[in-house]
Structure 1
Amino acid sequence: MSATSAVTAPRRGFFGHPRGLSTLFFTELWERFSYYGMKAILAYYLYRSTAEGALGLDKSFALSLVAIYGAAVYMSGIAGGWLADRVLGGQRAVFHGGVLIMLGHVALAMPIGVAGVYTGLILIVLGTGLLKPNISTVVGGLYAESDPRRDSGFTIFYMGINLGGFLAPLVCGFLGENYDWHLGFGAAAVGMALGLVQYRFGRRYLGGSAMNPPNPLPVAERGRVLGRITAITLAAVAAVVLLLVTGVLGAEGVINLISVASVALPVCYFAVMLRSRKTTSVERSRLVAYIPLFVAAVMFWLLFEQSATVIAAFADTRVDTRFLGLEFPPSFVQSINPVMIIVIAPLFALLWTRLGSRQPATPRKFAYSLLLVGLSFLLMMVASQGDPAVRVGFLWLVAMYLVMTCGELLLSPVGLSVTTKLAPRAFASQTMGLWFLASAAGQGIGAVVVRFYSDENAVTYFGVLGGVAIALGVLLAVSTGRIRKLMHGVG
């Protein structure tokens, strides 16, 4: 983003930042409110009995569907980023994405069963693909590259994400579990609608930030390129629908296809960048160093993103949700992680500042994050001991999330930073997209893995996954020296 476009946004007005930051802060807060609010009750709505107003689907299938939805959301960001860069521009992409997300939640709020679920999830996937990768670009465009407020602005923006993630399960979970599932989904739709309204009225404060596509398709080629993309997309959708209608491919088959695609897509990205003539020898070495970090991120997200699947199911049937004399819905446990992020993130920022050049190298931070997320699953293994009919204390989940959140803070923000440093110059934006595909691949693999979970085999399930994460963390720690050589001076 050039300094020219950045300074067209009003300069101050929101805690010493451009007024446009408040517009984007609340847009993202409400978008995350809608996303995490829906996700907090989705699994329960899918697998709980029809007597409870839910769909009564098989639990393992329900958890797999929630996981593959998460994978599809992150995969769609690649297409959303391309549309913003070549056709729409960031600001329009954010608005159109928000509209699709709202319509998706409206579909879920309608009592039309499985059809509403599939329609809603598809719309939310498409909308999030447009909004999520582009709203950060608009935030960055509010500041000149040399503006010292830039990092602070992103920190404030990140707090909006976690505030929305904290409030969402409390509101949507309460309404969905205590009154009606569709009220919970409806609250998510209202949240996104509020975000759209304030975005529409506050858009004037964004100035020229990401207003136009930075690399627009030539007018002469636009119709041909977009027509070809539309034709291929419709043909692919028609093929899947035909296979579903004829019974050749069931719902689980579609999930398996997306799972395979979530792994194949980043593999193809790595292959293209490594083989490209635009990648220099030093950049190729750094890209090779990035591969074990990417694999570590996939493993981390495989475990972390089970908060809305396996951990949610565990909280539903194995956890005593009474605390300090109060009883709360199981969906409330998904507010624990955002609260811990808000509390602990400043402590990590202070730690890295204090350590300075003495802080651990990036591969070692990734190794520690795997050790911690593995340990969090071992805590779940211990909590799962004994009779499945006997519920365990709520504090087990608090301890698990505390350990897991520390692992998240060692990997998620660090991963964003190291990706920008190791990316080949010719593929800078695409490598950032590749980082988000680590989460897609983790959840895609998770869509298969979660099928093996049940209350009866919880000890084995948590123990095996926790053990694998710890083993991979140890291997990464041992390999840190070798990886750092390949990084050519990148920390």
Structure 2
Amino acid sequence: MNSSKNNEFFETQVLGHPSGLFVLFFTEMWERFSFYGMRALLVLFLVSSLGIGGWDWPRENALALYGTYLALLYLTPIIGGTLADKYLGNRKAIIIGALIMTLGHASMAIESNPLFLYLGLLLLVIGTGFFKPNMSSFISILYKDFPEKKDGAYTIFYMGVNAGAFLGIMLCGYLGEILGWSWGFGLAGIFMLLGLLQFTLAQGIFGEAGNKPNVVNKKIEADDHTEIEDKLNPFTLIDKILIVIVATFGLTWVINDPLSKIGDVNFLEFGGTDYSGQTIIITLILFLVLIATRIARYSKITRDKMIAVVVIAFFIIFFWASFEQAGGSMSIFAKDYTNRILSGNAAFIFNIVDVIITVVPIALITWVLFLLFKQTFKKYLISNLILGFSFILIWGIVGWKIYNNFNTYSYEITYNTYKTSVDKDAKPQIITSETAVSENAVLGTQTTVIRTANEFAANDKLSIIDIDKKGVKFKYLTEDQAANINTSINAKIVRKKENEIEIPATWFLILNSLFIIAFAPLFSKWWESKYNPAPAYKYAIGLFFLGVGFAFLAFGATGIPRGATTASVSILWLVLAYLFHTLGELCVSPVGLSYVSKLVPARMIAFMFGVWYLALAIGNKTSGKMGAMIDVITEKYDIATFFLIFTFVPLIIGVIAILLNPVLKKLMHGVK
């Protein structure tokens, strides 16, 4: 792409950056809105009671599927990026990816049918493979002749990432928990579609950039031997066979894990014996052999640098295995073990704070939208109208959310129960409209609190469809609906309580985005100062922060007895955990992929990017595997012990990172 084409992109300015950058900003924002909105709901939906629309899965099964989904999300970009470079170009790949993801979200909105949910997840994995790697590389192409502006461009772009994550978790999570899961999943799909349309209709602003496949420059200034080594070190037949075996075995194991738990299908069971453990061990050994034999063929300097990448990738596995508990076991902790009920002044203060942290970011983004309108409205009318409509929709949902939070009432209700035994420790069973109660059953009543926008008076009768574990989730039925549902529960209003609110379990996930926005400028100044730590120290600090976050959760959970499936600990512990986890993420995220590009020779760039994404996939799959241990550890010990594992593992790996710093520094041969 020549400079004249680049200059067209730079013709109109918004906040000192090209207008076209903000087209990418909003496209990425809506994609992240969709991704994080769906991610916030997935595990909660799977483990919630059937009556309130969930699937009532065991936590182990839900977290197995969650881990596999996250792992596959980091594997498909290797394929999508390669196809874009060789055949499609960035722009076609982005559009294909966004279209496939829109279909995936639409499929997930039909959540009552398992086939549609699984199809939706598959489409999201495939679509992300096309979309994710090409958005970032597209910016690199657009700014090729203006490298001095690239850092600022990526800063703006990643603000879009965090804005999308914040809005998606807040609004999809709220609708999913308050109105029903399909509302949350469906909203994610709507904004993915709006992002696709906005990008497609504004493509002219990019000139010819990203239309054609990229020509990969094989030369790289890694060291003086690189270009010669590229010619002398091709992938051998054994290399290619190992790659096929490792990819086949690894994917089989990743996909087989949830299948064996959920569908009773085990591809790795032979003769009644499950060989899953042996399979993944053999796969990892073969993978290490592949890396070792490839690296060994390079000169010492190049070999050292590539070993440094492998060491850094090792740290990243442990970081993400713990960090990604956010959408898994930490969401379960928020749902079942945290006291999310606030009343009186506490409820009022929370509502005010929630309004501020909701309205202020959206107002700022709307202002950016207005500035973009002024520059591009006439030339890209339909794209801007779609973008404008998306914000009208956002403001409408936010307005309804605020109104609903201030106008939700709390009622104490009673419902009938029975015991088939006189044993005082026997758990009471709920009497539904189809329950046949035996003559010797012990009848009784239970009390719980519901929250609804409907107004009731004392002694009013109502029908509800189910009561979740903590009694705070229910579905209110009209008389006509109750007549058509055999399992409805007859209840009676006892009294209207002091104004109470229930914080959605998904709300805590927005703290990550808020803390990133608040602390990223401070960390940026730290990295630019003379106190900028070495890479190993950054990872160590990040892992220490991560461990401290889990230590707060472990401390907060100390009073929960062994085997408990519900509790009501303070929300403070979750808030502190997300704070320290975010500080850890800010330490780790700057290192990442930049070191891969700086340290490895051209011939190995694609392969080592694959290694990096594989490390992320292993970390995310491990997060699901470790999270799935929550019930086993809680029953044998307690949930505090479960979180202590995630406290000590990052701390130990952080110490190892510090000890390895001299070695890593030597291996990097001056690369910073």
In 2, Cα distance between equivalents of 1:266 and 1:349: 36
2:668 is matched with which residue: 459, 480, 487? Answer: 487
Determine the structure 2 residue equivalent to 1:467: 648
Matched, 1:440 2:621: no
How far is 1:286 from its partner?
Answer: 1.0
In 1, Cα distance between equivalents of 2:102 and 2:268: 25
How far is 1:267 from its partner?
Answer: 4.4
Q: 1:330 to 1:261 in 2, by over 3 A?
A: farther
Per residue, is there more helix in 1 or in 2? 1
In 1, Cα distance between equivalents of 2:601 and 2:295: 9
Q: 1:264 to 1:404 in 2, by over 3 A?
A: farther
Q: 1:265 to 1:335 in 2, by over 3 A?
A: farther
In 1, Cα distance between equivalents of 2:653 and 2:544: 8
In 1, Cα distance between equivalents of 2:277 and 2:128: 22
In 1, Cα distance between equivalents of 2:58 and 2:523: 41
Matched, 1:159 2:159: yes
Q: 1:287 to 1:138 in 2, by over 3 A?
A: same
Residues 325 and 624, structure 2, Cα contact 8 Å, conserved in 1: no
Determine the structure 1 residue equivalent to 2:291: 270
In 2, Cα distance between equivalents of 1:433 and 1:3: 32
Determine the structure 2 residue equivalent to 1:315: 334
Determine the structure 2 residue equivalent to 1:340: 515
Determine the structure 2 residue equivalent to 1:403: 580
Residues 110 and 117, structure 2, Cα contact 8 Å, conserved in 1: no
Q: 1:39 to 1:248 in 2, by over 3 A?
A: closer
In 1, Cα distance between equivalents of 2:121 and 2:593: 27
Q: 1:131 to 1:341 in 2, by over 3 A?
A: same
Determine the structure 1 residue equivalent to 2:657: 476
In 2, Cα distance between equivalents of 1:266 and 1:204: 44
In 2, Cα distance between equivalents of 1:453 and 1:6: 53
Q: Which segment is superposed worse, 331-340 or 345-354? A: 345-354
TM-score by length of 1: 0.88
Three-state SS of the structure 1 residue aligned to 2:9 is coil
Q: 1:260 to 1:37 in 2, by over 3 A?
A: farther
Determine the structure 1 residue equivalent to 2:557: 384
Matched, 1:360 2:533: yes
Q: Which segment is superposed worse, 177-186 or 436-445? A: 436-445
How far is 1:21 from its partner?
Answer: 0.8
Residues 98 and 127, structure 1, Cα contact 8 Å, conserved in 2: yes
Residues 338 and 570, structure 2, Cα contact 8 Å, conserved in 1: yes
How far is 1:289 from its partner?
Answer: 1.9
How far is 1:8 from its partner?
Answer: 5.4
Q: Which segment is superposed worse, 120-129 or 139-148? A: 139-148
Query: Deviation string for 1:288-308 (max 9, x for gaps)?
Result: 122221111110000011111
Q: Any residues of structure 2 matched to 1:180-259 within 5 Å, and which?
A: 180-215=180-215, 249=266
In 2, Cα distance between equivalents of 1:145 and 1:289: 31
Paired residue type of 2:190 = V
Q: Which segment is superposed worse, 310-319 or 442-451? A: 442-451
How far is 1:208 from its partner?
Answer: 2.4
How far is 1:169 from its partner?
Answer: 1.5
In 2, Cα distance between equivalents of 1:106 and 1:466: 38
Query: Deviation string for 1:224-246 (max 9, x for gaps)?
Result: xxxxx9xx99xx99xx99x9899
In 2, Cα distance between equivalents of 1:209 and 1:319: 50
Q: Which segment is superposed worse, 84-93 or 321-330? A: 321-330
In 2, Cα distance between equivalents of 1:178 and 1:112: 17
Query: Deviation string for 1:418-472 (max 9, x for gaps)?
Result: 2222222322344334333322110122232222113553212111232121111
Q: 1:18 to 1:172 in 2, by over 3 A?
A: same
Query: Deviation string for 1:302-353 (max 9, x for gaps)?
Result: 0011111011111011112245314321011111101111111111001222
Q: Any residues of structure 2 matched to 1:20-99 within 5 Å, and which?
A: 20-99=20-99
Matched, 1:375 2:548: yes
Structure of higher RCO (CA pairs closer than 8 Å, 6+ residues apart): 1
In 1, Cα distance between equivalents of 2:2 and 2:591: 25
Paired residue type of 2:339 = D
Paired residue type of 2:520 = A
Query: Deviation string for 1:387-422 (max 9, x for gaps)?
Result: 244311112111111111111111112223322222
Residues 63 and 625, structure 2, Cα contact 8 Å, conserved in 1: no
In 1, Cα distance between equivalents of 2:275 and 2:506: 27
Q: 1:214 to 1:442 in 2, by over 3 A?
A: same
Determine the structure 2 residue equivalent to 1:304: 323
Q: Which segment is superposed worse, 282-291 or 115-124? A: 282-291
The structure number with the bigger radius of gyration is: 2
Q: 1:257 to 1:5 in 2, by over 3 A?
A: farther
Query: Deviation string for 1:251-293 (max 9, x for gaps)?
Result: 9999989978996897477346414x5x432111011122221
Matched, 1:285 2:460: no
Q: CA RMSD in A?
A: 3.0
Q: Which segment is superposed worse, 318-327 or 182-191? A: 318-327
TM-score by length of 2: 0.65
Report the count of equivalent residues.
468
Q: 1:291 to 1:22 in 2, by over 3 A?
A: same
Query: Deviation string for 1:198-222 (max 9, x for gaps)?
Result: 1011111122222211249xxxxxx
Determine the structure 1 residue equivalent to 2:358: none
Identity %: 34
Q: 1:29 to 1:269 in 2, by over 3 A?
A: farther
In 2, Cα distance between equivalents of 1:201 and 1:258: 47
In 2, Cα distance between equivalents of 1:295 and 1:19: 39
In 2, Cα distance between equivalents of 1:258 and 1:115: 28
Paired residue type of 1:419 = V
In 1, Cα distance between equivalents of 2:542 and 2:284: 21
Paired residue type of 1:316 = K
Query: Deviation string for 1:30-68 (max 9, x for gaps)?
Result: 000000000101111111111111112221110121121
In 1, Cα distance between equivalents of 2:324 and 2:41: 15
In 2, Cα distance between equivalents of 1:383 and 1:247: 37
